[in-house]
Structure 1
Amino acid sequence: MKRGSLRLRLGLAAAGLIALALVLAGVGLTLIFDRVLDARTADGLDRTAKLIAGQVALAPDGTLTLPREPPDSRFFAPYGGLYWQVDRHVDQQGDPQGERAGGPALRSRSLWDRGLGTVPDTAQEPAVGDLAGPDGGTLIAVTRRVSIPANGANAALAVTVAEDRRDLAESRATFLRLLVPSLGALFVALTLAMSLFVRRALAPFRTLRADLAAIHAGTRARLPDSFPEEVRPLVADLNRLLDAQERDLERARTGAGDMAHGLKTPLAVLDALARRTEGRHPALAAEIAEQAQAMGRQVERTLARARAASGGLRRRACPVAPALARVVGALKRLPEGEALRWEIAAADELAFPGDEGDLTEILGNLLDNARKWAHRRIRVAGRVEGGEAHLVMEDDGPGMSEAAIAGIARGRRWDETRPGTGFGIAIARDLAEGAGARMQFGRSDLGGLRVEIRWPVPES
């Protein structure tokens, strides 16, 4: 795709928006996962705190006892990452050493020689927050405050259960290791889906391009009405433009024909007058005849230019091989034509992007010029190669010098020694360029002039 392609720009914009959306989704999912992980961890810690609170008791000497500790092995390994502690007479600040006015705290073996604080009292029960861990880490902790009967009174206790956040970080890392590839795969899938969507959405424009190419090639006269509603106004405007252009071109052709008809009659009168006065004033008659013929050639070329300028969007295409056969057949019947060897090889699929009359005049002018100069041989070859059509005409005549070839210009005779020489080539060149073709001159390997006409072949 080219840099200015609408499909490329839409695809890049869609890919960028998809990437941005997935990044935001990844951040949001990570935040949600963190909150859910904290909530689930806090819920598990609270269940353990309730289990401990339901079993804790006061001995006759006032010390705290726990008949059965929670079974998790991390409670028994030093700094195992899971801790619990039961305190009496807890204040708002907690006691990092675990000692209280009412006696020593009861704690898990995983705390080893360290104490566990309590989460500051909040309106929420249980209180959830972060505490400093015994090995310098950060803990997520749950503190549940309860009262138990003791010697006819109630003793206030604070049961705290905590877990090291480094264990949660491992769960978070595992989640991210799964999330990032998943989002990457989702990005690829959504980008491909969006690419297909953009391609499908732009399909009417590809169809429109193909239909316009068919109009250029001359195989279609108008655009069809089977386009989506959003494209129909554009199609309708193009059809109106085609119709208006066709009307304008028809008027131009009619005007050129009228002008030619109006000029040919006076030129014929001048030619008749020249012949009538030839006996009495031969020099004057020759001058009048020469000027009348020059004006006639200019009229013919003006008509050719008018036809060449009538291409526009809607072009016609005609096969080259049949027209070439007719022109060569006619030239063979002319003087010097029968004695020449004509080598014709034109591909059947070769089609000229113009009217059959224009092609006939191009071939007629160029091949008639070759007939006049050739010694024994004329060669014509036509092919389609690399998206371009080539039509080459060569003869074995004296040819033209490099300076003469470089000096060929439209409307200028390249050989002043022969009256009229060069106008046929000029007309052929005008018609070819009007049809979108390029004409190049060179020296043939046969020794004479080589004329090559090239034009692009529309995509099928």
Structure 2
Amino acid sequence: MMSLSARIALSAALVLAIFVALTAIALDRAFRDSARSATQTRLLGQIYLLMAAAEVDTQGQLSMPPTLQEPRFTLPGSGLYAQVLDGNNDVVWRSHSTISAQVPFSGPFPAGTQDFAQRHDSNDRPYYVLSYGISWATDENEYPFTFAVVEDLAAFYTQVKRYRRSLWGWLGTMAVLLLLVQALVFRWGLAPLRRVSQELAAIDAGTQDRLQGEYPRELKRLTNNVNDLLEHERAQQQRYRNGLADLAHSLKTPLAVLRAASGGKPTKAELASALEREITRMDHIVEYQLQKAATVGRATLATPIAIKPIVLKLIESLDKVHHQKALEVVVSVDDDTRFRGDEGDLMEMLGNLIDNAYKWCIKKIRVFASAEEGSLVIKVEDDGPGIDPNEITQILRRGTRADEAVPGHGIGLAVVCDMVQAYDGTIEIGASELGGTEIRLTLPSP
């Protein structure tokens, strides 16, 4: 695939080429129109000079002086020609320059009108022809005449070609300079992207662990998200390693108990009881450590998840399990309250909290979730007996293991605590206004 720099350079070159071509066409057309208008004005001036030099007698005979102000009229083949027609379309005067020349004169024309056009002779040689009809008044009568001036277009075309060479030369030079300037500007403008690429290569090589450079505002969000993603990946790997280490450490105690039980002379019933008890403990330990390691944690690019549908789904399921209690469950969650993270993690946290509330409540539960001051606050309350403060300290103590948890609140709340920490949040357990326990989660807001 073509690189970003090559795409921008090619696009800029195409746009510049189109712009230069359109500019050249417009300037060339404007110059031709201007030169044509200037030629018409100049030829009209020559007609005025001829009219000033002409004399008409009382018989309507027009005469011109032997020498004229414009010397080209006297030089054969000079490229500038003139003639005068009378009212009968007879030539009454021609300039000496028309000798041996096939000049495409036009006329006659009514008095007060003029005609300016490009015409060709029999050899297809182009000329500009300006004809001007007048009415010459004497003391006794008025006589119509048509003055015509013709100019060879060779000089005009030479002028246009010279202008085009100059125009394309300047525009080409400007285009090359603009391309060089654009290349420098693009190189300077894309420098932050090259630095990002270099830093990512360094991260891939293991020489640095995050993007460290200062970047423009447009790239700041990108680099921050990349750093968050890298941090999330490292945290996830660390959770896997810690989970394996904790699992190995947690299994030492039940394995030691089983080893001791098998080494003595227990009865068959005692051995079966010990096996059942320790296998149950190991099952809880494995479940807890797997849930802890599988926590996705805060993800910058995760799609925010609506909380209310999940709460209602959990309540619907738990109502069926605890249908004999006939509980009152109050849900205070707005439809637009959302959680940025993994849906499975949210289900696990809410499921554990609400399940504990169902187990310990008497007849009322309240679930609350709202965005407050840049954070997402989730509260689950019940009207049960509450949790002893000593148990709260044990549950929330960092590093609490499944086999150390308090029955009824152990593995579930321990998992919730680890998940909340994985999302850079906090968990608090206190007394509820309902008379039982309030568990409050504070998580980063989406």
TM-score by length of 2: 0.52
CA distance in 1, matches of 2:16, 2:107: 43
Aligned with residue 89 of structure 1, among 66, 82, 87: 87
When residues 62 and 153 of structure 1 are mapped into structure 2, their CA distance, relative to the original with a 3 A threshold, is: closer
Give the superposition deviation at 1:110: 1.6
CA distance in 2, matches of 1:141, 1:233: 71
Partner in structure 2 of residue 109 of structure 1: 96
Give the superposition deviation at 1:214: 4.1
Q: Deviations over 1:299-346 (max 9, x none)?
A: xxxxxxx9xxxxxxxxxxxxxxxxxxxxxxxxxxxxxxxxxxxxxxxx
CA distance in 1, matches of 2:225, 2:108: 77
Aligned with residue 228 of structure 1, among 212, 216, 220: 216
- The 8 Å contact of residues 130 and 140 in structure 1, kept in 2 or not, is answered as yes
Decide which structure has greater helix share: 2
Give the superposition deviation at 1:49: 0.8
Give the superposition deviation at 1:193: 1.7
CA distance in 2, matches of 1:170, 1:131: 18
| Residue identity matched to 1:23 | A
Partner in structure 2 of residue 14 of structure 1: 12
Q: Deviations over 1:259-312 (max 9, x none)?
A: 44467889999999xxx9xxxxxxxxxxxxxxxxxxxxxxxxxxxxx9xxxxxx
| Residue identity matched to 1:207 | R
Partner in structure 1 of residue 369 of structure 2: none
| Residue identity matched to 1:109 | H
Q: Deviations over 1:99-157 (max 9, x none)?
A: 52xxx321111212556533675999543112334764221122222222335212222
Task: Kindly indicate whether residue 51 of structure 2 is the aligned counterpart of residue 53 of structure 1.
Answer: yes
When residues 50 and 123 of structure 1 are mapped into structure 2, their CA distance, relative to the original with a 3 A threshold, is: closer
Q: Deviations over 1:49-90 (max 9, x none)?
A: 111112211245543211264444432333321111111117
When residues 270 and 138 of structure 1 are mapped into structure 2, their CA distance, relative to the original with a 3 A threshold, is: same
When residues 73 and 268 of structure 1 are mapped into structure 2, their CA distance, relative to the original with a 3 A threshold, is: farther
When residues 74 and 264 of structure 1 are mapped into structure 2, their CA distance, relative to the original with a 3 A threshold, is: farther
Q: Deviations over 1:150-209 (max 9, x none)?
A: 352122221111211122111111112222222221221121122222222212211222
Partner in structure 1 of residue 27 of structure 2: 29
Q: Deviations over 1:334-363 (max 9, x none)?
A: xxxxxxxxxxxxxxxxxxxxxxxxxxxxxx
Give the superposition deviation at 1:225: 7.7
CA distance in 2, matches of 1:237, 1:110: 85
Partner in structure 2 of residue 175 of structure 1: 163
Alignment map for 1:125-144 (pairs within 5 Å): 126-133=114-121, 136-144=124-132
TM-score by length of 1: 0.50
- The 8 Å contact of residues 111 and 134 in structure 1, kept in 2 or not, is answered as no
When residues 213 and 122 of structure 1 are mapped into structure 2, their CA distance, relative to the original with a 3 A threshold, is: farther
Aligned with residue 189 of structure 2, among 195, 201, 205: 201
- The 8 Å contact of residues 135 and 144 in structure 2, kept in 1 or not, is answered as yes
- The 8 Å contact of residues 109 and 132 in structure 2, kept in 1 or not, is answered as no
CA distance in 2, matches of 1:258, 1:120: 114
Aligned residues: 264
- The 8 Å contact of residues 60 and 143 in structure 2, kept in 1 or not, is answered as no
Task: Show structure 1 runs of 5+ residues with no match.
Answer: 91-98, 277-305, 307-460
CA distance in 2, matches of 1:55, 1:119: 21
CA distance in 1, matches of 2:206, 2:184: 32
Task: Show structure 2 runs of 5+ residues with no match.
Answer: 264-292, 294-446
3-state secondary structure, aligned to 1:130: strand
Partner in structure 1 of residue 232 of structure 2: 244
Partner in structure 1 of residue 374 of structure 2: none
Partner in structure 1 of residue 174 of structure 2: 186
CA distance in 2, matches of 1:84, 1:187: 46
CA distance in 1, matches of 2:21, 2:111: 37
Partner in structure 2 of residue 155 of structure 1: 143
Partner in structure 2 of residue 145 of structure 1: 133
3-state secondary structure, aligned to 1:231: helix
Partner in structure 1 of residue 347 of structure 2: none
- The 8 Å contact of residues 57 and 148 in structure 1, kept in 2 or not, is answered as no
CA distance in 1, matches of 2:54, 2:122: 23
Partner in structure 2 of residue 257 of structure 1: 245
| Residue identity matched to 2:226 | L
| Residue identity matched to 2:99 | W
CA distance in 2, matches of 1:123, 1:33: 32
- The 8 Å contact of residues 138 and 164 in structure 1, kept in 2 or not, is answered as yes
- The 8 Å contact of residues 145 and 158 in structure 1, kept in 2 or not, is answered as yes
| Residue identity matched to 1:152 | E
When residues 77 and 259 of structure 1 are mapped into structure 2, their CA distance, relative to the original with a 3 A threshold, is: same
CA distance in 2, matches of 1:31, 1:123: 33
3-state secondary structure, aligned to 1:227: coil
CA distance in 1, matches of 2:143, 2:75: 30
- The 8 Å contact of residues 140 and 165 in structure 1, kept in 2 or not, is answered as yes
When residues 263 and 72 of structure 1 are mapped into structure 2, their CA distance, relative to the original with a 3 A threshold, is: farther
